[in-house]
Amino acid sequence: MLKLNKKLSSDIAANVQLSLSYEQRVKSRLRVTLSDGREAGLDLPRGDVLRHGDVLCSDGGEHVRVVAAPETLSVVRTSDALLRARICYHLGNRHTAIEINSIFISYQHDHVLDAMVVGLGAQVSVEELGFEPEAGAYSAHGQYAH
């Protein structure tokens, strides 16, 4: 079985992909199936979170690109900057991992949080998307740790 134990720069070419949910991308030890059907094992340093586009390498030099697998997410789209800020504040106050970008805010689907966001005045849709939450203020040197 292929053992993936190094993370490389994302600009390195890789023909094989590894599709993982966010929950899987925070694990350092995991048995996985690659896009070409082969079994592989992750053996990475603890605390290292894999991001969409990262490239993993085996001792033999084989490269595999990480892909954020589609997950069921709650998605909020609003052009109201104050409302966006309030939503991010209230979700963060509940220690909820959120993805913030220029188009939407998303979090792993939770009907209770959806009700809170609707109560703040926004609309929530449930969608299947890759999830790339914020790394957090204390992540070191651009590493993504939760």
pLDDT in tens, the chain (146 residues): 899 999 998 899 999 999 999 999 999 999 999 999 999 999 999 988 899 999 999 989 999 999 999 999 999 999 999 999 999 999 999 999 999 999 999 999 999 999 999 999 999 999 999 999 998 665 554 444 43
**Ramachandran region of residue 142, left (φ > 0), alpha (ψ -120 to 50) or beta?**
left
pLDDT of residue 145: 40
pLDDT at 143: 44
Domain range for residue 63? 2-68
Residue 16 phi, psi dihedral angles, 5° rounding: -105, 145
* Predicted pLDDT of residue 9: 85
Sign (positive/negative) of CA torsion 104, 105, 110, 112? negative
Q: Give the burial string for 84-109 (b: 16+ CB within 10 Å, else e).
A: beebbeebeeeebbbbbeeebbbbbb
- The pLDDT value given to residue 116: 98
Same domain, 13 and 64: yes
Question: Would you state the pLDDT for residue 137?
Answer: 62
Q: Is residue 59 part of a domain?
A: yes
Output the pLDDT for position 142: 45
* Structural domains of the chain, count: 2
Helix (H) or strand (E) holding 109, with range, is: none
What CATH number does residue 104 fall under?
3.30.70.790
Query: What global pTM score does this model have?
Result: 0.84
Q: Is residue 81 part of a domain?
A: yes
